[in-house]
Amino acid sequence: MKHLNIVSSAYRATIEEQDDTVVWVTHCLRNAGADIDMLLCGAAVNYPAAGQQVAPVTIGGRTQKHGPDVHEQIRTFVGNGSKVMAVREDLDERGIDHRRLLQEVQVIDRKALPSLLKNYDRVWHW
Amino acid sequence: MSKGKTLTFVLMDPPFEASRTTTAMRAIDAALRRGVNCNVFAYEGAVMLPFRHQQPHPNPVHGRDAAEEDHPLPREWVAGLMAMAKERDAAFNWVNCGLCVDERGAGDAIDGVQRGTPADLWKMASTSDNTVVVATA
């Protein structure tokens, strides 16, 4: 069964969780045997862009030094038979230079989405 | 257990925060009423939905005491769905994501709630006719 997880809500509680929880669960599903790819849209298209950094956050004297690294999450997911795709128009709207993306990430035109989705038995939009 | 269709639902919102939860619960209710077997994988804040210590409260702004207010509690909805599934001879599994439970201290859930991992979600989804993801915004 071919499966696609669509991530559109970006940086959702990433400080508290130290990762993107949908990217995390997608890793877990693959580790459990799922044949699974990931489509990034909306603000989540920034995940594969290089040069992200999370500075330590101090709240009430408690400093969180170990920040989330969503770029690394994507980098470790892509490959091993799994694809990561990003919507071109969402990248361009945000002025994200495609050359900053991980080279394994495929950039997909929005108009190509219907035919892309037909390739999957299950599509989950998070 | 019904030999009919099976649906898996993934819930993510914490209780008392989003109308999506009520909508999802209504969808599960409707499925169980039709004898459809249902699985729920509660991810992130949704693990608090069956938390045992939810309590109703009075509402002075409404001018009502606790009994009059009759505040709905998601743990009662979950228990009600479990009971209804039993009556309808439908399977109903509620699986809380264990790590999500730990980070929230949500281990004290109502009876019948199972602890699991995303691997359980995959098993449930793989054996279901379809899966509905109700994610947080």
Q: Counting beta carbons within 10 angstroms of the beta carbon of residue A68, is it exposed (0 to 12), middle (13 to 18) or buried (19 or more)? A: buried
- CATH number assigned to the domain comprising residue A61: 3.40.1260.10
B11 in Cβ contact with B21 (< 8 Å): yes
pLDDT in tens, chain B (137 residues): 567 899 999 999 999 999 999 999 999 999 999 999 999 999 999 999 999 999 999 998 889 999 999 999 999 999 999 999 999 999 999 999 999 999 999 999 999 999 999 999 999 999 999 999 999 98
Q: How confident is the model at residue A60 (pLDDT cuts 50, 70, 90)?
A: confident
Residue in A12, A28, A126 nearest the CB of B133: A126
> Which chain B positions have a beta carbon within 8 Å of A1's beta carbon?
126
B56 inside domain: yes
- Number of domains into which chain B is organized: 1
A2/B contact by beta carbon, under 8 A: no
Residue of A nearest to B44 (CA): A21
Of A33, A111, A17, the residue nearest A69 (C-alpha): A17
Taking only the tens place, the pLDDT of each residue in A14-56 is 999 999 999 999 999 999 999 999 999 999 999 999 999 899 9
Instruction: Report helix, strand and coil shares of chain A as percent, to nearest 5.
Output: 35, 25, 40
Give the model's pLDDT for residue A80: 77
pTM given for the model: 0.89
Shortest Cα distance, chain A CAs vs residue B120, angstroms: 9
B122 inside domain: yes
Give the model's pLDDT for residue B2: 61
Of B13, B44, B127, B134, which to mutate for an interface test with A (greatest number of A Cβ within 10 Å)?
Answer: B44
Domain boundaries, position B77? 6-134
Give the model's pLDDT for residue B1: 57
> What is the three-class DSSP state of B10?
strand
B128 in Cβ contact with B76 (< 8 Å): no
Q: What is the DSSP string of B55-120?
A: ----BTTTTB-HHHHT---HHHHHHHHHHHHHHTT--EEEEEEHHHHHHHT---BPTTPEEE-HHH
Domain boundaries, position A18? 2-125
What average pLDDT does the structure give for chain A?
95
Q: Residue type for B69, please?
A: E
B1 inside domain: no
B101 inside domain: yes
Give the model's pLDDT for residue A40: 98
Shortest Cα distance, chain A CAs vs residue B30, angstroms: 21
Residue in A1, A34, A126 nearest the CB of B135: A126
Residue of B nearest to A123 (CA): B131
Q: Give the helix ranges, DSSP H, for chain A.
A: 14-17, 21-31, 70-77, 88-93, 113-117
> Which chain A positions have a beta carbon within 8 Å of B95's beta carbon?
none
- CATH number assigned to the domain comprising residue B15: 3.40.1260.10
Residue in B44, B122, B135 nearest the CB of A29: B122
Give the model's pLDDT for residue B105: 98
Window 23-42 of A, Cβ < 8 Å to B: 25, 28-29, 31-34
The number of CA neighbours under 13 Å toward the Cβ of A5 is 30
Q: Is the pLDDT of residue A125 over 70?
A: yes
- Number of domains into which chain A is organized: 1
B71 inside domain: yes
Taking CA atoms, B130 is separated from A69, B22, B70, B92, in Å, by 32, 20, 35, 15
